[in-house]
Amino acid sequence: MKVRKGGQGKPGSKVPVVFPKLIFLFDSDLHGKGKELEWLFDEAIECTKIAQYPDYLSLDQTAEGETPNYVGDVYHKWGKIVSPMGKQESTAHLKSFEPFLAGVRVKSC
């Protein structure tokens, strides 16, 4: 994340690094408020503010009555990570990240 935040290249002509793609696997038991790896999540948010990466996937399981979290449910059932790209219904659970992403700038292509 340090390279992503600082860019790559010679001083004065650094460019953003976009590959390989970074994905932060958020687990509220590890990265939530007061948890042992909260600092790492905070670092990822700072990186996102500057470089638009990493992307975030939640590994939390769906609680009864919540919007399904396909990624977390698959991870807890089979121990595998799946990345549903671009489907809004499969990313609805990420609304919980919105308070953390306040102030993140979005670059247009």
User: How much is the pLDDT for 86?
Assistant: 53
Beta strands in the chain (DSSP E): 23-26, 55-58
More confident residue, 103 or 70: 70
Question: How high is the pLDDT of residue 22?
Answer: 83
pLDDT of 36 reads: 95
Question: Residue 25: which residues within 8 A CB-CB, separation 6 or more?
Answer: 57, 59, 81
Range with the poorest average pLDDT among 31-35, 82-86, 89-93: 89-93
Mean pLDDT of the chain: 77
Q: What is the pLDDT of residue 18?
A: 76
Tokens of 40: 């790492």
